[in-house]
Amino acid sequence: MEGLYRDVMNSPTRKTTASIDLGTSIIQLDREFGDGIGITLIGEIDATSRISIEHAFPFATPSTLTYVHNLRIEKHLGNDSYDGIIDDFTLNIMFYLQNIADYVHLNWLNKAPFTETCMLSALSNNGSILLPLTRTKDEEIKVKKQHIDRIRLTEAARRGDEDALEDLALLSMDQKNDMYNKALRDGILSVVETTMMPYGIDCEAYEIIGIIERYKVIKNTVTDEEVICMTIQCNDYFLDVYINSMDLKGEPEVGRRFKGVIWMQGYIMF
């Protein structure tokens, strides 16, 4: 890893520096080792221009804007790393913040960042491809109507409409009953089109099932291995999932589903 870290420091793809104290700046060095994948180093530059690296992480570049209503940031214990947290009605989604230097600089300036947009991505080392769900025309119409109703009721509930909150709970119960009855008849994977559940003790880890919207094959320039990048629609969120082709069971195709364990990351648009 030391050789890779030296490559990042000597020839970064992106370099971000920002003041965090008098005579001290935070530095973020990103180096791609393939289209959209690479390593980030986070450190500090003191008044003598000496760089000290604090920590590093692999990154996966996101591509699709996500609009959220409640987004907050919390610091990790131990180092200058952060989680972005999307407060959703059903699940608080946590992701590892990628553009750390931007946030730390704004925080130092006492400019509390308010944002409603971010981009999500993920790394995975364990996944499989599932066939798409098969529905009748009537079932498809019902699912689309429920989706529209859910968005409308969720917006109203966020504004404090108690009737909408009750209707949203009833809609969720109806959907669960429909899924339960079909699961008994055809199996659980015949009804779950998208889902996201926390996985293990890592806050940013999730087990997901999502629909493949598009995909591409890229190459890891360090190992010459193929990496599959899939844009996944999951629970009304879009995220770019990167996985080594050797760790993916099945052939990805648009419309099929991805099932796997991911480490969620995000880039917040400050």
Does the residue 12 lie in any domain? no
pLDDT of residue 213: 96
Q: Which pLDDT score, from 0 to 100, does residue 199 have?
A: 94
261 pLDDT above the threshold of 70: yes
pLDDT at 204: 95
Q: What are the two backbone dihedrals, phi and then psi, of residue 57, each rounded to the nearest 5 degrees?
A: -155, 150
Q: Is residue 157 part of a domain?
A: yes
Q: Cβ distance 99 to 265 under 8 Å?
A: no
Question: Taking residues 96-121, what's their average pLDDT?
Answer: 85
């599959």: which residue's tokens?
228
Q: How far apart are CA 204 and CA 189, in angstroms?
A: 24
What is the distance, to the nearest Å, from the Cα of residue 128 to the centroid of all Cα atoms in its chain?
Answer: 18
Q: What is the count of structural domains for the chain?
A: 1
Residue 270's contacts (CB-CB under 8 Å, 6 or more residues apart) are: 99, 102, 103, 106, 113, 115
* pLDDT above 70: percentage of residues in the chain: 93
pLDDT beyond 70 at 44: yes
Residue 225 has pLDDT above 90, yes or no: yes
Q: Report the pLDDT value the prediction gives residue 148, as an integer from 0 to 100.
A: 79
Tell me the range of 21-25, 43-47, 108-112, 183-187 where mean pLDDT is highest.
Answer: 43-47
* Of residues 179 and 54, more confidently modeled: 54
Residue 152 lies in a domain: yes
154 assigned to some structural domain: yes
Lookup: tokens for 106: 């704004």
| Residue 182 domain flag | yes
Q: Which residue has the higher pLDDT, 49 or 26?
A: 26
Whether 140 is covered by a domain: the verdict is yes
Domain assignment of residue 146, yes or no: yes
Q: What is the dihedral of CA 253, 86, 208, 103, to 10 degrees?
A: 70
Residue 153's domain spans which residues?
134-191
Task: Please state which of the ranges 44-53, 92-101, 160-169 shows the lowest mean pLDDT.
Answer: 160-169
In a domain, 69, yes or no: no
Choose between 85 and 114: higher pLDDT. Answer: 85
- Region 246-260: mean pLDDT is 96
**From 119-123, 205-209, 234-238, the region with the lowest mean pLDDT:** 234-238
pLDDT category, 250, cuts 50, 70, 90? very high
Q: What is the DSSP string of 156-190?
A: HHHTT-HHHHHHHHHHHHHHHHHHHHHHHHH-GGG
What pLDDT does residue 89 have?
Answer: 67
The overall average pLDDT reported for the chain is 88
